[in-house]
Structure 1
């Protein structure tokens, strides 16, 4: 019987996990992204917390995500409080799904809703969608249906395993002892903490209710304890996190402990004055689900006017340190706790890659200015930003490899692949910008200077490359296919400018118009600028591949098609950039 019970629990937990991960994969993280952006007041936070938790079937998962968002400084503590309140309400959805097994009617449509009929039908449809479906979204929907089927199969197994207990006086005596509120709360807390899911522990209690031995008096304290036990997951997730992340976990714990104490006092006070008629009657699945929801809704309503006091309470429990503040590191947004929602984790990776590109663009502009007039303090700032870029590349690469592949749609997998390519291109742009700074430093140490004509030429080609970086950033940020196709014509103009300027500078060197000390930095700077434009072109090709949804666009084939006029308006754009940049240096005095 114990083995059957544990086997049923295993199926139940797996079904709930499969159902939640399928819904997460289908949403692509959009639910969590909405939760992140639309929590400017506590009421929205409660609503969104309930919706997200109802979808992913786990208040623990929602609170872990919230701890991660607070740790990444994306959400404030007060915003997190509303979401946690809503998560407690959303987690009651599972219990209401399970109560369907108590349906009894001769009506055909109601009989179809009874899980003993519905679960196998849903399972058959689900496996057909997984095996026959060609599109990923149909396969994912099939996984959701299979998760629903497995969830109820586990429930049926648990009910079958515990059914003999209805005849056991020892079992009846055990649950009679749980009517003691303290013991009942402790049992509910410990069991839920062990399996780290209040939905699962509620499911076990609903399965046991089928024996007819569990009464309202023994079930109520257990349900209250289950709400406390589910806090263990976010508490564990907050270990090693920031103070506000720890406070977020403390909010969840405080909310449930205070709510449990208030409910116990109110219920047992009323019971002692005017005993409930149902107190010693058996409770069914519907009664468990109703009380679970009533508790969480009432406690949320009770706390809504006192969100500020709850915030002050956890700040008092976890006070600020007197030591130095936390470092503002952009890589901190890549919190491992967000991996619980792959779609949300990918979105934050995309934001981090964009931030990395903007840092590279800023460094490029500053590096070109260094060639005009070297400044030691500015050079140090450039190197600090380069350290941040390198740190972001390393953190992003490792972080994206941690994202669970099993929960990714084809689109999400393609996004990760594109991000890995693009972050490498932005990092190389940063490296070449540092090279420009080093050339400027060498010239400063030797006292060499560019001639006015050479400086004009470097500035002009630098403006062209700067526009290429802007277009690469723009097409990445907006996923703009048309903008991505305009990068290569400009890159081709930069190539021509480099060749022309290199030849022109060699002539100046031969004629004695330029010193040897300035010649090497000039030619190498041209080479760096041309390579930066190459990386911008690569970003454009990766974005074209990603937006089109193709596995890979061959770079050389694409370039050949462009030059042949088979893609976009290459010739027209090439002429425009030639007039804008190349004609400036061609018409200038050599």
Structure 2
């Protein structure tokens, strides 16, 4: 094999993969925020999971990326293993669309398509036109790469005997397809390569189908590698993908002669036959597994058993695989981690409330420990968001991420004020400072309204409920009024000699910190309103 042939083969494969990449990115950009809503619409129904997995894979043109996304969602607790299995099945179906596209004999139109696409991509006046242009360019490159691979392998027609062994030994074909796809990490590329070889007469259908089966097994390596640094649930999702493919291949190898007859009847063109075989294998395999999703889930848990691990403090939703696999989903992960951060600081405030009312000194260490967790989590979310900002995000998602980054600071500051409050409580205990009954009542009243504001702001961030935004804005005004009123009342008590000077200092600091918490809760709620407004203006 000459050097030029190797270069042409690698170059053709590179063009093919790059075409898939930019076409998938263009489709994802066009989908925009709808991708997040599509993923969020997942339910526990495996059939709906299959539909979502199919549609997402058709959009991003990569079953590996969809499976990695599902694995990451299971790790983050956004999806159950049963839901992920449905998505994995759907991803297997969605990826066959690429093979069906390249089976069309339209390589003669590849260069004109690239030319038209470049006109839109370079001279387009709107982002939508540029996205469409990029998608058309990717579509054209797909066929240029395919044609280049076919030409590079033309000389092998005189060495057809090298590949006939796959016809007589299907297991060898499966191993070859698995190994090649593990290296390339793209089943679409290796299926395309198989189609290119078959179209040159190098591979009869009997040899191509086992290689195709191997391609389907090999593509599972990406999710397995991605799950190595994740929790047990994520590993179960990754291995569910492996078992789904391997068991399916075993089933179809057992009926290989019958399957070959069905495939041969589907078309007279061998490229189309291979594309049809790819589709039929994954659709039929899904139909076999879908009614037994529950049993399959139990099987996976038996082979990869649960460990009963407890979720550690620190990031739960931030998975760096999502940054490249699906930046839009990564933005959603930031939002969910922020909700978790919000719940953490709310719990700190509730502990502060308990400490002052019940005179419970044991809560001090609990709040201080939670503050360390808040600081760590804030750093992690900020670092993750900074890395995510380097990706090409749709405009609305980019704005949303910027708003979230601002909101992270507000939530972290609420944690700081909770720490200030618990330190004031500690000072009060150590110096045996006693509040009057009236001061305790006023503290309760203000603390309750502040807790309501924080709770509603976190719920607004979690559920995107604009009606609650208005409540938070109203509460913030009430908190400001109450702070001024209570400060005035406390000064009056101090002048009357009802209150100790040392108690007055502590009480004033408490009011000041609670008022600032109200301001930050207001900011968090307001960012949700700003994000929704940006989405509506798109």
Task: Judge same fold: TM > 0.5, yes or no.
Answer: yes
User: Residue 325 in 1 paired to residue 280 in 2?
Assistant: no
**Equivalent position to 1:173, from 128, 143, 161:** 161
Is 349-358 or 285-294 further displaced after alignment? 349-358
User: How much does 1:548 deviate?
Assistant: 4.2
SS state of the match for residue 352, structure 2? Answer: helix
Q: Distance in 1 between matches of 2:218 and 2:81?
A: 22
Match of 2:189 in 1: 200
| Separation in 2, partners of 1:547, 1:31 | 16
Question: 2:144 aligns to what?
Answer: 153
Which segment drifts farther, 464-473 or 257-266? 464-473
1:51 and 2:71 are equivalent in the alignment: no
Which moved further from structure 2: 12-21 or 252-261? 252-261
Correspondence list, 1:70-469, <5 A: 70-101=74-105, 114-117=106-109, 119-166=110-157, 169-170=158-159, 172-179=160-167, 180-268=169-257, 284-321=270-307, 325-327=309-311, 329=313, 331-339=315-323, 340-403=325-388, 405-469=390-454
Bigger mean CA offset, 457-466 vs 242-251: 457-466
The correspondence of residues 538-549 of structure 1 with structure 2, limited to 5 A, is: 538-539=523-524, 542-543=527-528, 545-549=530-534
**2:112 & 2:313 partners in 1: Cα distance?**
51
Q: Is the 8 A contact 1:95 1:199 kept in 2?
A: yes
Shift of 1:250: 1.7
Contact 1:371–1:436 (CA under 8 A) maintained in structure 2: no
CA distances 1:197-225 after superposition (whole Å, capped 9, x unpaired):
11111111222233233211221111111
Q: Give deviations 1:282-312, integer Å, cap 9, x for gaps.
A: 9621111011111222222222344344334
> Match of 1:60?
64
Report the more deviating stretch, 283-292 or 157-166.
Answer: 157-166
Is 2:6 the counterpart of 1:2? Answer: yes
Q: CA, structure 1 residues 314+437, in 2 after alignment: closer, same or farther (shift >3 Å)?
A: same
TM-score by length of 2: 0.88
Query: Deviations along 1:40-61, whole A, 9 cap, x unmatched?
Result: 2222222222222222211111
Distance 2:188 2:148 in 1: 17
2:264–2:273: 8 Å Cα contact kept in structure 1? no
Contact 2:16 2:145 in 1 (8 A): yes
Task: Tell me what 1:565 maps to.
Answer: none
Conservation of the 8 A alpha-carbon contact between 2:404 and 2:527: no
5 Å-filtered alignment, 1:508-587, equals 508-539=493-524, 542-543=527-528, 545-549=530-534
CA deviation string 1:5-40 (max 9, x = no partner): 211111111111111122223323644653454242
Cα separation, partners in 2 of 1:126 and 1:306, compared to 1, 3 Å: same
Q: Distance in 2 between matches of 1:156 and 1:228?
A: 26
Give distance in 1, aligned partners of 2:493 and 2:226: 65
382-391 vs 410-419, which deviates more? 382-391
- The structural deviation recorded for 1:528 is 0.9
Matched, 1:19 2:23: yes
Check whether the contact 2:263–2:276 (CA below 8 A) recurs between aligned residues: no
Within the candidate set 8, 17, 41, 2:45 is matched to: 41
Q: Residues 488, 226 of structure 1: CA spacing in aligned structure 2 closer, same or farther, 3 A cutoff?
A: closer
Long gaps (5+) in structure 2: none
* Distance in 1 between residues matched to 2:375 and 2:225, nearest whole Å: 30
Structure 1 runs, 4 residues or longer, greater than 6 Å off: 275-279, 480-483
**SS of equivalent to 2:342:** helix
- Alpha-carbon shift at residue 378 of structure 1 (Å): 4.3
Residue 316 of structure 1: how far off its partner (Å): 3.0
Change in 2 beyond 3 A, CA 1:531/1:2: same
Q: Which residue of 2 aligns with 1:106?
A: none
Kept in 1: contact 2:44–2:82 (CA 8 A)? no
- Counterpart in the other structure of 1:560: none
Whether the aligned pair in 1 keeps the contact of 2:107 and 2:144 (CA below 8 Å) is no
Single out whichever of 484-493 and 433-442 deviates more from structure 2. 484-493
Q: What whole-Å deviation, never above 9, does each CA across 1:369-424 have from its counterpart, x for those lacking one? A: 53344223444544454444333322211222232633311111111111011011
Alignment partner, residue 110 of structure 1: none
Unaligned runs of 5+ in 1: 102-113, 551-590
| Offset, 1:501 | 4.0
Aligned length: 528
Question: Mean Cα displacement is larger for which, 51-60 or 491-500?
Answer: 491-500
Label 1:478 to 1:69 Cα distance change in 2 as closer, same or farther (>3 A): closer
CA contact (8 A) 1:215 1:282 kept: no
> Per-residue deviation at 1:236?
0.8
